[in-house]
Structure formats: structure tokens, C-alpha cells
């Protein structure tokens, strides 16, 4: 900290970790938030191009540099600044509120299977013992409870679930926005940050672990769960998110051929990660598949029982990084694509995550638009399910052409609108995901009609209107075969926590999965994506094909 600022601090009263404040230094508001691990949406990584990192300075605005030309180009209200542009220039305490922040809706619903409980943690002669493949560790005396925690470390959200290792029940679930979003909304931005800053990897790891520790405090206060009784963690995520959680290098994931340095499963002590659970607890990171298909995709496959299925199945997990898997017990193939976060609120002007106030359902009847928001709160933006509804409804109403053209911006409210640029972001994201689906089906040697079940995994897949998703071409036209399986990544992590048999199956399965990269295999991949961008098969308002 520069001495010129003395003991002055910046406070973020919305957040527990922000209430004690942080000593101010020569940097932006975004720099201060990052050091505290507070999530300020900055999909451009703080370059000043997205305009999403809006904050309201309640007190101390005189300590900041004047608004920049970049800030003046955005429609900011009085008292609002862009966190990446507002820089400390004078010694004054500041009180800063993040605009548009909110708790994400929790998708605790998951597919559940009957399991024979066989966790790696058990009680033996009054002691808690963890048993791995080649080792055994004493974790201390048994004190009446054995808990474990499954974590889905997503690019946008982090979801934690505490389970009873003796009974198998899920006891409590908490979800938060991944505070690493302050470093950029996608994995490439975060990889780049670790390369450009000497302590970047350490900062990323501490940021997400701090988020988990806050959730542990919430478990204790809300549910009475003693974190000292948590003896094992199973954390899944795409290769970048899993490795950042465990503090492992991610450099190779940002350069050709975009592969992780190692695909093997991880076992380490929770204390080494900074987790506030039992300090002898084990932290397990399931194996990676390859490329950007990670432990979360593996967990999806385990939860859907694809690796045991007789008939071919398809799994689609739509997020900032979309994953597709196809196969059965005879073999599995996967592919991943960067959806760019368009359906998670990023890259779309009025897009927002699934927080209270997000428009989640949209309908247009006789030219009149109606919508519903999460929690029946005043609208603050449109989340992914609402964006799919909106595209489909605009098509049916003839407001958007099959070539994805709007004659003018479409307003849902005075301040919430869909622009032509937004439409372009959405159709590009859906085209990439649909192209991967089509090519995986082709590579697997079957026709779409041969697919027995299409599993939609993740919060986004759980809430979308399937008919509308088919109408815009995001999913194959097989509505009767679609099954929503909720947060399958979390479900798979929980099963690996509760059963060593499932854990071994997962590790064996990961080795045999073929990960393909259609963008490298197909010379005309860009043309294939372009062919999936538009809506030649979309339904019109009269129910006829356009």
C-alpha cells in the first residue's frame, strides 16, 4: 500500500468479506474488489469494453479520478462508475456498492440413483479414516458426525452441497457467483490473467477458495453444519476451473493444442488449499477427459449413467463452456465449445445470470409482451431461459426474421432491450453448440433418431422451455426424448463422494472417452457453424415452418 493513502479503506458493505474494508492503494475499484475476492462482473477482464462492472459510490467519490471517455460512452446513472475505470487519486474512505449483484438461484435438484454407500471416509475403532487407492490416512477421533462436500466449480457459479457420509442424504446446498468473474467471464481471460501476473494463479485459487469458505460459514449459521466434521471434498469443473481450484497450472489450456498438463485425478489435503474444513480432510479432484472437457463433463456422464447405457444417449450441458457427450456402455465421445457465456448473461447487453429479478420466461401474444422474473422481483435483466423464449417468440411473431434480423431494438421494459448485436451473440453461441451436437452424432455413426435419450444438464438446461429451444435450433427436434437431469455435475460429484465404486468407475471411464475437436477435424467448420446460425426451421405464430 502506498503511504500517501494512510489508513484509508475501501468498503463493500453488501458482502461479508467487504465490510471490514481493504486499505486503499494506487489502483481501480476493480483492483480492490479482486483483492477481496468480490465478484464484479467484468467479462472483458477490466479492459473497459463491456460496461458491465457498474458500481455505485455511496461515499468518497471525491477520492476517484474523473469519469473517463469510456465511462461517458455508457448510460450510467448519477453516482455510478465503471469499476475498471475509477481509480484512487486521493486519501478518503470509500463505500462502494456493486450494481446488479445478487444471489443466484440454487439448482439443488439433481438426478439421484440408489447407491450402496461406500465413501472413502469411514469410522474404524473410534477413529475417522480416509482410504485412497494406495494409501490410508487417520483424520482424527470420531465425534458423532461424518460429512462430505461436493462442489461444482463452474465458470459462472460455484455450487456446494454438504452430504451425510453415514446416511447418504444431501443436507444443504448453497450457490454463489464465481468471484473469479471479476477477472473475466471466460476461461481464456482467467488463464491470461495467470500468465500476465506473477501471483495470478495464487490470486485465482484464493479467490474461489474464499468463496467456498464463505459458503461454509453460511452452512454453519443457516443449517448448523459444523465444517470441522467435513472430512472430504469432491470438486468438479472444466479443466481450467478444476486446476485453478487446486492451484495447478493452466497455461497449456490457453495455447494450442489446448490440453491440460495432466488428466489424472487429484488427492490432496484440504489444509493445503486453504479450505476451512477439517484440516486433515482430503480434497479429491476427479479425472479430466481432455481439451476443455473436464471433471464436470465426466460427472455428467456418471450421473446420467451413460457409461452403463445399452442405447446411445446424448448429454448437453450448456454454460459458458458448453459440453456435449454421446455414447453408451460400448463407447463415449465428447466435444466442448466456448459458448461465450451468451446464455449466462455475458456478452448480451441486458443479459444477466439467474438472480432475483432476472426475466426467466417471455411470451408475445397479439404484439403484447409478457414476462416473469425469478422471485417475482422487479426486472433487472434477462437470463438464459428468458433469452431462448425471447428469440422463439420474436420468430413466431414475425418481429425477427428467419435470418435473425430485427428491424429495430426490441424492448421488454424501458431499460431492458434486445439489440441486433445481442441476437448475433446468441445465434453464434447456439450455432457452435448445435454444430458440435450434429458432428458428434455423425462421428458416432448413428442418426439423430437413434438417440434414446437427450439429457439436459445444468441449471440452464433445467429451466429452458424445450419447445422454444428446439424452435431456435439449439436442440434436435426430438422433444419426447428430452430429459432434464438438473445439476448433473454436482450429482456426479456427490456420487463419487458417497461411493468408492462410482469413483473407480469414473476414473476408468475417463481413460476410455474419446475427446474430439470438430473445429480442427472439419476444414469447413466455420461454414457448418454459419449454417446453424439462422432459423430456417423456426415455427411461425401460425404454427407453420418459416
Return the C-alpha torsion angle 242, 245, 246, 247, nearest 10: 110
CA neighbours within 13 Å on the CB side: how many for 318? Answer: 28
State the DSSP H helix or E strand holding residue 216, giving kind and residue range, or none if neither.
helix 200-223
- pTM of the complete model: 0.82
| Sign for the pseudo-dihedral over CA of 44, 45, 47, 48 | positive
Would you call 420 exposed, middle or buried from its count of C-beta atoms within 10 A (0-12, 13-18, 19+)?
A: middle
Give the pLDDT of residue 107: 57
Please give the order of strands across the beta sheet that includes 321-328: 482-484, 453-457, 313-317, 321-328, 331-338, 514-515
Which residue from 29, 27, 84, 80 is spatially nearest to 55, judged by alpha carbons?
80
The per-residue pLDDT for 181 is 80
381-418 residue pLDDT tens: 888 889 999 999 999 999 999 999 999 999 999 888 99
- Is 3.30.420.480 the CATH classification of the domain at 121-300? yes
pLDDT at 76: 83
Does the structure show a pLDDT above 90 at 19? no
pLDDT at 378: 84
Label residue 543 left, alpha or beta by phi (over 0 means left) and psi (-120 to 50 means alpha): left
The structural domains of the chain, with segments of one domain joined by +, span: 3-98, 121-300
- Work out the percent of the chain whose per-residue pLDDT is above 90: 65
For 341-369, write each residue's pLDDT tens digit.
677 666 787 887 777 788 999 999 988 99
Residue 93 has pLDDT above 90, yes or no: yes
452-509 tens-digit pLDDT: 999 999 877 778 899 999 999 999 999 999 999 989 999 999 999 999 999 999 999 9
At 109 the pLDDT is 57
Please state, in angstroms and rounded to a whole number, the distance separating the CA atoms of residues 258 and 246: 19
Cα gap 44→184, rounded to integer Å: 6
Domain 3-98 - what CATH class? alpha beta
What is the rounded average pLDDT of the residues 515-523? 92
* pLDDT value of residue 30: 93
Instruction: Give strand ranges (E) for 266-346.
Output: 266-269, 282-285, 313-317, 321-328, 331-338
For cell 469414473, what's the residue?
506
pLDDT tens digits, 141-171 = 999 999 999 999 998 889 999 999 999 999 9
CA distance 453 to 313: 5
* Residue 546 pLDDT level (bands cut at 50, 70, 90): very low
Q: What is the pLDDT of residue 41?
A: 76
In angstroms, what CA-CA distances link 48 with 42, 74, 95, 304, 374? 9, 10, 22, 41, 29
- Of all residues in the chain, what percent carry a pLDDT higher than 70? 93
Q: Where are the alpha helices (DSSP H) in 445-524?
A: 458-463, 466-471, 488-498, 500-512, 518-521
* Dihedral, CA of residue 96, residue 97, residue 99 and residue 105, to nearest 10: 140
Amino acid at each position: 500500500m502506498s503511504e500517501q493513502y494512510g489508513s484509508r479503506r475501501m468498503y463493500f458493505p453488501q458482502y461479508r468479506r467487504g465490510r471490514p474494508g481493504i486499505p486503499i492503494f494506487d489502483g481501480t475499484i476493480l483492483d480492490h474488489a479482486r483483492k477481496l475476492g468480490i465478484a464484479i462482473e467484468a467479462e472483458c477482464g477490466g479492459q473497459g469494453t463491456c460496461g458491465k462492472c457498474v458500481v455505485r459510490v455511496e461515499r468518497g467519490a471525491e477520492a476517484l479520478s474523473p469519469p473517463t471517455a469510456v465511462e461517458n460512452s455508457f448510460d450510467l446513472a448519477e453516482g455510478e462508475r465503471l469499476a475498471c475505470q475509477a481509480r484512487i487519486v486521493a486519501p478518503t474512505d470509500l463505500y462502494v456498492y456493486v450494481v446488479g449483484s445478487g444471489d443466484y438461484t440454487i439448482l439443488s435438484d439433481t438426478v439421484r440413483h440408489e447407491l450402496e454407500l461406500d465413501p472413502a471416509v469411514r469410522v474404524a475403532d473410534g477413529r475417522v479414516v480416509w482410504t485412497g487407492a494406495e494409501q490410508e490416512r487417520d483424520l482424527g477421533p470420531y465425534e458423532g458426525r461424518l460429512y462430505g462436500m461436493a462442489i461444482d466449480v463452474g465458470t459462472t457459479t460455484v455450487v456446494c452441497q454438504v452430504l451425510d457420509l453415514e446416511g447418504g442424504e444431501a443436507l444443504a446446498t448453497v450457490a454463489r457467483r464465481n468471484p473469479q468473474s471479476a477477472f473475466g467471464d471466460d476461461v481464456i481471460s482467467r488463464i491470461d490473467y495467470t500468465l500476465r501476473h506473477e501471483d495470478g494463479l495464487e490470486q485465482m485459487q484464493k479467490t474461489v477458495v474464499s468463496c467456498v469458505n464463505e459458503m461454509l460459514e453460511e452452512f454453519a449459521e443457516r443449517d448448523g453444519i459444523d465444517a470441522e466434521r467435513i472430512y472430504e471434498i469432491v470438486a468438479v469443473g472444466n479443466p481450467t476451473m478444476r486446476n485453478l481450484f487446486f492451484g495447478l497450472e493452466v497455461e497449456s489450456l490457453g495455447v494450442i493444442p489446448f490440453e491440460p498438463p495432466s488428466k489424472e485425478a487429484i488427492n490432496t489435503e484440504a489444509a493445503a488449499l486453504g479450505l476451512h474444513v477439517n484440516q486433515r480432510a482430503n480434497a479429491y479432484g476427479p479425472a479430466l477427459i481432455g481439451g476443455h472437457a473436464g471433471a464436470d463433463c465426466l460427472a455428467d456422464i456418471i450421473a446420467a449413467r451413460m457409461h452403463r447405457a445399452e442405447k446411445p444417449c446424448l448429454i448437453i450441458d450448456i454454460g459458458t463452456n458448453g459440453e456435449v457427450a454421446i455414447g453408451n456402455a460400448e463407447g463415449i465421445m465428447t466435444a466442448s465449445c466456448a459458448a461465450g457465456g451468451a446464455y449466462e448473461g455475458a456478452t448480451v447487453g441486458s443479459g444477466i445470470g439467474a438472480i432475483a429479478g432476472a426475466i426467466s420466461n417471455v411470451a408475445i401474444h397479439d404484439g403484447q409482451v409478457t414476462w416473469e422474473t425469478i422471485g417475482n422481483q422487479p426486472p433487472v435483466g434477462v437470463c438464459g431461459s428468458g433469452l431462448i423464449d425471447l428469440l422463439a417468440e420474436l420468430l413466431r411473431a414475425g418481429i425477427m426474421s428467419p435470418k435473425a434480423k430485427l428491424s429495430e431494438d426490441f424492448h421488454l421494459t424501458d431499460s431492458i432491450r434486445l439489440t441486433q448485436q445481442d441476437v448475433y451473440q446468441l445465434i453464434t453461441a447456439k450455432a457452435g453448440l448445435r454444430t458440435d451436437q450434429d458432428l458428434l452424432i455423425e462421428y458416432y455413426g448413428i442418426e439423430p433418431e437413434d438417440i434414446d435419450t437427450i439429457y439436459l444438464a445444468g441449471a440452464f438446461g433445467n429451466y429452458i422451455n424445450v419447445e422454444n429451444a428446439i424452435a431456435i435450433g439449439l436442440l434436435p427436434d426430438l422433444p419426447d426424448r428430452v430429459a432434464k437431469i438438473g445439476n448433473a455435475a454436482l450429482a456426479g460429484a456427490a456420487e463419487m463422494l458417497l461411493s468408492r465404486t462410482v469413483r473407480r468407475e469414473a476414473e476408468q471411464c475417463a481413460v476410455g472417452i474419446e475427446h474430439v475437436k470438430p473445429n480442427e477435424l472439419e476444414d469447413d467448420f466455420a461454414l457448418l457453424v454459419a449454417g446453424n446460425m439462422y432459423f430456417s426451421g423456426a415455427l411461425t405464430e401460425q404454427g407453420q415452418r418459416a
